[in-house]
Structure 1
């Protein structure tokens, strides 16, 4: 039985921890790279005449430059326009915050505070923006001002305590916590609570040289309902820090306490200090996702060579305090929507412990969720500067670059990842996805080949997505027989995969092959996803190919209702209306399809031809021309002015 790596936050606010380790089949649930962070985008999107094609239509994220625009670091942005008075900067800061433009929000908030530096709401708003942007120098200065004014907020206190801890002024941290109003166990709007204050205080006690009081404080906090696993992890770190490795191992051996990546590292170091390298190696071997964590592999190799690992997962009590923030940040990041409080905790963690890669990775992932791709890229660069090029981080970075429409950079990052870790299937899948997004279908096939060879036959479920994706690449590259084999292999793994059923069915319809089987495949896809416009379009088109025009009308009308702005779907509706004898309605649909800017000139030319001569004439011309509509005649040369001669 293998163990799975869980995130650092275990049961503080949730009973269902999620895995931090990238699963072997990472892309199987991702119809395209952007889907993980853009759940509103349906995985059935496709380019012209191709149903459910993941990875070829990822639009630039809202507010991001298009592919032909140079991508600039946010630090290079021109300064925010000068707005005088209080109302202007305040409103500008609010608008920037709504748009998740943290740097601009911070700048305008400070300008508003220059007009009125006594408003706690303005101060907290500025703190949130500055911390989110990673501008800890100005954030700590503002928190200090708030403390000196005698009006510290809960967030201001957290920042102030972090600054004191970073300076190892532990007695002042303890005094600040003891003098603050009592925090509730439920916490408040800033994420502050008796639990987080207590854990910070326990680490401060250790920093102040009061080890026995520190351990007692952690033990008392572990009695908090639902908090024992999380607190016991920190208690184990504190025990190990003072040399009680037996006590630390007893706590970390509990899966509820140590089954996350930092817990696994800590336990390996503790076991090694206890001269139990074999046990540590066995523990690592039983950890699911080991192959995707080079740091764990490196620890294993060192112990295989007989080296005793130092206990250095935390070097100072400030590192322990940083992991407190990371713990709470991980909990807050567990929701579907990105949470600014999660980002604040991640930023405080990396401020206290700049070498803590998990904090930078968490910050990068949250920033990516907010659409702050440049700020996220800075965190990924910091990870690489630390020599911490972990696949899970690089895969997230590749996703962020792709969503920012920086496909060239994303492709380079994927190539770098596969070169550094050629043994990791998710890297090859990500590379294949990026190549497909750029219509490099023939180049994508070898990437999926490599991924499938690495996955092997031992994990059929992990093979599903790369089989499906390779099938798409092969079909688009003109190798349908090979593509069909991949689609059918994917269906053996997931017989009820609506997207594969639809893609294979539509491809057969488009080729005018096995139409009865194609119809059954698409009908099953519709049963699974009755409201998916693209699948309804496929069903209607299958009826059309079979000459069952009246039956095609209803699903096609439902498809148009679901995707009124799709040129191809409206074009199909026109063809079906025409063949059903509703020619005036057909012309209306073709006009609408034309107004929606068809994706290719060939599609636009065909629509113009149908409006000019009717569908019957177009079909006859295509039949006479080997299935293709003759190109339009060249535009006449402009008449030359004879006088110019």
Structure 2
């Protein structure tokens, strides 16, 4: 199956698996939706029992509909005011919805509840810090437990409380002496630099920020924190009159994260001789940065609630932080709440260097809501306002891809390639890859293949490109061994990607290697159990090896599964009649009886930072 994944402009790498969430994750994440009859939509006023309110609230909670969940939890409390579990979930829903003040009230009420202590401590401690009750904040935030992530978070927050109390040297000594895993250094270097800046110690700030920027692991572990360090160092050097050093710092950031609009805006400002202000100037902003740093690094599939909680509390401390708004918008998109994402992106200040990032993501979110023409016009205006910004073309191409307007998509990427010029950078692989997809879908393989190969020249082991090109070669019976080798390399790079594993299995099928096809397609189904196309493929492979009952079962699963469109009438016919025997001398194209046109997911809005 040829797929390319959609990425956010500020996608973040995850920390290592050792960063366990423990009780906070279980407290912040709603349980699975009950297996009951379909719940009809209704409001709190329509509910006349505790059980009804509780069930409806949990359903809304699982659907990330926090306003409804809040109203229903409150309704449940009207029947049972002492119910501790309801109060816990109400507090979490309030915080996830951005209702910090009401969430704080519940946190105060629950401060003796051990099951949510990790949440209440942070909320209460940061409330004290923002009101400049620094000693109280430090006392509340004290932590002596064994969890590495909690120890780092609380020590950094406590150190920022010391900075607020005028004890910057003590704060920096605490952070410098913090013992823990190697990944601590990414965060401690940046926050030591930020603390030194707030304290006015330029020499120490320069030293620590340089350590953060030159840390080779920083971009993979915590890209958002790395970028903050780059920008803080550039602003420091600009303020000191070291214009070239400031630009050199930005170049380091450009090398790691190409085409990043805030860096571009900062470069332009410094080139004009301006001295942009630092982002962190107070203890409250520094503490907000701790939660931003941790939340951004944890931003991965399955951790959305935890990350959102950290970022919402960070936003309460520093409501003018544009990068926090953008990460929250990205989370809303992941949770399939595009309207909420649009509202968050719209709140990024017009004069912020990150405004363009928010505008690009806003355009993609508009398309998700079905406002495709509005999204197109919005993104075309962004291209016109800055034709050199490649990400505008990529975002626009994503919308055109979703709309299956491949002719316009190809023309769009032709213009992007013109802007790239004769010497593309490694990060430009995405543009060539997307142009290749457009031409492949237009059945112009003579134009598609050179773009895929150019993308691989720029990023030789990029699994999306290997998968798409390799599958295409097998599909067309061209360079079969080369194509199969490419797909295998893609699987080696991403063994847990069900779509890429499906490509390998379906390639074996097209080559008549049905036993190998079954092995790989069974693995793909384990990875993506509810994808209709993968179920359909496995059904075909089962039939060819004589496992006909299992084939019919998989075809039936395909009819009720989610994912890409399949030819349902054709699947129903297979259930009724099975597959006709295949000619052992048939070509790979002849063996395809079910494969629809390969799906094209939305183009990434920016190259994958890890690729």
Q: TM-score, normalised by structure 2?
A: 0.68
Farther-moved stretch of structure 1 (439-448 vs 417-426): 417-426
What's the CA shift for 1:382? 1.2
Deviation at residue 482 of structure 1 after TM alignment? 2.2
Q: How many residues get paired?
A: 518
Q: Aligned ranges for residues 85-104 of structure 1 at < 5 Å?
A: 85-104=49-68
1:110 correspondence with 2:78: no
CA distance in 1, matches of 2:199, 2:141: 31
**Separation (CA, whole Å) in 2 of partners of 1:185 and 1:352:** 25
**Which residue of 2 is the match for residue 328 of structure 1?**
294
The residue number in structure 2 matching 1:216 is 170
Is contact 2:192–2:205 with CA below 8 Å preserved after alignment?
yes
C-alpha distance after superposition, 1:488-533 (max 9, x if no partner): 5456664895424444325534xxxxxxx45444544565559844
**1:233, 1:605 → 2: CA distance?**
56
Match of 2:202? 245
* Structure 2 residue 121 is the aligned partner of structure 1 residue 175: no
Give runs of aligned pairs for residues 618-629 of structure 1, distance below 5 A: none
**2:460 is equivalent to residue 499 of structure 1:** no
Indicate how the Cα distance of structure 1 residues 419 and 387 shifts in structure 2: closer, same or farther if over 3 A, else same: farther
Q: Give distance in 2, aligned partners of 1:386 and 1:85.
A: 50
Deviation, 1:534, is 4.5
- Which residue of 370, 391, 395 corresponds with 1:426? 391
The aligned runs of 1:587-598 (5 Å cut-off) are none
Structure 2 Cα separation of the partners of residues 250 and 34 of structure 1: 34
Which residue pairs with 1:50 in the alignment?
none
Task: Determine the C-alpha separation between the residues in 1 that align with 2:414 and 2:331.
Answer: 32
Post-superposition shift, 1:149?
Answer: 12
- Change over 3 Å in CA distance of 1:541–1:383 after alignment to 2: same
Choose which of 269, 277, 280 in structure 2 pairs with 1:302: 269
Offset of residue 467 of structure 1: 3.1
* Residues 366, 372 of structure 2: 8 Å contact kept: yes
1:318 corresponds to which of 284, 290, 311: 284
Return the alpha-carbon distance in structure 2 between the equivalents of residues 505 and 282 of structure 1: 43
Q: 1:9-48 to 2 correspondence within 5 Å?
A: 31-33=4-6
Look up the match of 1:47: none
Q: Residue by residue, what CA displacement relative to the aligned partner does 1:543-571 show, whole Å, maximum 9, x if unpaired?
A: xxxxxxxx576567778866795498599
**1:225 is paired with a residue of what secondary structure?**
coil
Taking structure 1 as the reference length, what is the TM-score of the superposition?
0.65
Q: 1:198 is matched with which residue: 144, 158, 164?
A: 158
Residue 473 and residue 503 in structure 1: after superposition, are their counterparts in 2 closer, same or farther (change >3 A)? Answer: farther
Please tell me whether the aligned partners of residues 88 and 116 of structure 2 are also in contact (alpha carbons under 8 angstroms). Answer: no
What residue in structure 2 maps to residue 375 of structure 1? 340
When Rg is computed on C-alpha atoms for both structures, the one with the higher figure is: 1
SS for the counterpart of 2:319 is coil
Between 1:468-477 and 1:127-136, the stretch displaced more is 468-477
Alignment of 1:11-410 (within 5 A): 31-33=4-6, 79-80=43-44, 82-146=46-110, 153-166=117-130, 169-170=131-132, 172-178=133-139, 180=140, 182-187=142-147, 194-205=154-165, 211=166, 213-226=167-180, 227=184, 230-255=187-212, 260-288=226-254, 292-307=259-274, 309=275, 311-331=277-297, 333-383=298-348, 385=350, 387-390=352-355, 392-394=357-359, 396-397=361-362, 407-408=372-373, 410=375
The correspondence for 1:479, drawn from 436, 439, 444, is 444
Q: Distance in 2 between matches of 1:526 and 1:175?
A: 58
- Give the CA deviation at 1:250: 3.0
Distance 2:448 2:195 in 1: 56
Cα distance 1:131–1:350, how it changes in 2: closer, same or farther (>3 A)? same
CA distance in 2, matches of 1:401, 1:349: 26
1:441 aligned onto 2:414 = no
Structure 2 segments unaligned to the other structure (5+ residues):
14-32, 34-40, 216-224, 493-499, 526-530, 583-611
